[in-house]
Structure 1
Amino acid sequence: MRLVLLGPPGAGKGTQAGLLATKFGVPHVSTGDLFRTHVAEETPLGLEVREYLSGGELVPSELTVALVAERLGTADAARGFVLDGFPRSVVQADALATILTGLGKRLDRVLEFRIDDEIVVRRLLARGRTDDTESVIRHRLRVHHEQTESLLAYYAGHTAVIDALGEVEDVARRVLDSLGE
């Protein structure tokens, strides 16, 4: 199973990605985790990532794509994967298509997690992180909506919409239903 999970921060994508990865025996590939791992291991790509992150900048698409391509080329991803946090743009979606073509694979489904912005704001504020101020959260939501519009058009016909409101188990059931499981 090769899945892409789209949705705003706080929609529960990471939680559901972990559950799906376990169910299907495939890796949960999170760009945030990839960044942290490469930085901690001080790989050549990690050293590049560190430069951007330490300067408070976004990691460029080319570097993100390189990290994802490397990860999807590993043995444990041969049977599938659950992508969380990638792609974030049509350019990255094109890159993913190229990566998969090169591996002789295809994407099975895109899951769009939908949840009301006000609920996301409440959820993220409740986490109590110092960088999760209301203005920052609302900015991240605006950016997410701008990016997602073009991605949803790009993936039209391959996307299942998931109501992300409710208990983890309820959302998981909706996800599996959308996959025919």
Structure 2
Amino acid sequence: MHIILVGPPGAGKGTQAAKLVEEFEVPHIATGDIFRSAIKNKTPLGKKAKQFIDQGKLVPDEVTIGIVRERLAEDDCQKGFILDGFPRTIAQADALQDILADLDIELDAVLNIKVSEEEVVRRLSGRRVCECGASYHIEFNPPEEDNACDGCGAELYQREDDQPETIKERVAVYKEQTSPLISYYQDLNLLKEIEGEAGFEEVFNNIKQALC
């Protein structure tokens, strides 16, 4: 099962992808995770990506496309994958089509998880993280003690890209550059629309039905 997840930041793509990994036993390929790892390790790629991410902007294609091509060429992707965070533009979608053609892979579906801007801000602005890698939410998954990591006890913090104004900028960028993907994949008869503001299990069940 070769799937792409599409939706605004905070739509729950990563959460649903984790469930899909269990269901189909294929890798979850999240470009966001790759970038965050590079940023944490202060690699040249990480430093470059951080400049854009901190401003709520998209990482340039020349950085992203090569990473995706290398990952999709790995053996575990022949059975399937869940691609999350790529493509984000029509140019990236065209590049992905070329990559898949070279690898003799066909997409099964593109899942568009729909969430309003108001819900995106509520979800992301409440997120708190720890230097150890743990993640919390002040509403949905609060730590046992206010602003302290359950695991290591360190003080939690809000990432710069989770500030409300930055979130709104990220949503604006998404609408401008990524929304055209909806028409792109509709034309290829691959798009499946998923309502993303329902409960987690309901959203997942709707995804499974869409893939049947």
Give, in whole Å, the separation in 1 of the partners of 2:4 and 2:12: 14
Q: Which amino acid aligns with 1:159?
A: L
Can you list the C-alpha shifts for 1:47-67, whole angstroms capped at 9, x where unaligned?
44124035x135321221110
Give, in whole Å, the separation in 2 of the partners of 1:126 and 1:48: 30
Q: What residue is the counterpart of 1:124 in the other structure?
A: 124
Q: Which amino acid aligns with 1:145?
A: K
Flag structure 1 segments of 5+ consecutive residues without an equivalent.
none
Aligned with 1:148 (options 178, 185, 209): 178
Cα pair 2:37 2:46 within 8 Å, conserved: no
Relative to structure 1, the CA distance from residue 41 to residue 134 in structure 2 (aligned partners, 3 Å threshold; closer, same or farther) is: closer
- Residue 148 of structure 1 deviates from its aligned partner by 2.5
Length, aligned pairs only: 175
Give, in whole Å, the separation in 2 of the partners of 1:169 and 1:68: 29
- Residue 39 of structure 1 deviates from its aligned partner by 6.2
Give, in whole Å, the separation in 2 of the partners of 1:75 and 1:39: 26
Relative to structure 1, the CA distance from residue 79 to residue 163 in structure 2 (aligned partners, 3 Å threshold; closer, same or farther) is: same
Q: TM-score, normalised by structure 1?
A: 0.89
Give, in whole Å, the separation in 2 of the partners of 1:36 and 1:138: 20
Q: What residue is the counterpart of 1:5 in the other structure?
A: 5
> Where do 1:160-175 residues align within 5 Å?
160-175=192-207
Aligned with 2:169 (options 139, 142, 164): 139
Partner of 1:8: helix, strand, or coil? coil
Partner of 1:110: helix, strand, or coil? strand
Q: Which amino acid aligns with 2:181?
A: L
- Residue 41 of structure 1 deviates from its aligned partner by 7.6
Give, in whole Å, the separation in 1 of the partners of 2:104 and 2:35: 26
Q: What residue is the counterpart of 1:50 in the other structure?
A: 46
Q: Which amino acid aligns with 2:204?
A: A
Relative to structure 1, the CA distance from residue 41 to residue 150 in structure 2 (aligned partners, 3 Å threshold; closer, same or farther) is: same
Give, in whole Å, the separation in 1 of the partners of 2:123 and 2:177: 21
Q: Which amino acid aligns with 1:166?
A: A
Q: TM-score, normalised by structure 2?
A: 0.77
**Which structure has the highest helix share of the two?**
1
Cα pair 1:49 1:59 within 8 Å, conserved: no
Partner of 2:179: helix, strand, or coil? helix
> Where do 1:1-181 residues align within 5 Å?
1-37=1-37, 47-54=43-50, 56-57=51-52, 58-128=58-128, 129-131=158-160, 132-156=162-186, 157-180=189-212
Flag structure 2 segments of 5+ consecutive residues without an equivalent.
53-57, 129-157
Residue range with higher mean Cα deviation, 162-171 or 127-136 = 127-136
Partner of 1:155: helix, strand, or coil? helix
Higher relative contact order (CA 8 A, sep 6+): 1
Give, in whole Å, the separation in 2 of the partners of 1:52 and 1:166: 36
Identity of aligned residues (%): 42
Residue range with higher mean Cα deviation, 81-90 or 138-147 = 138-147
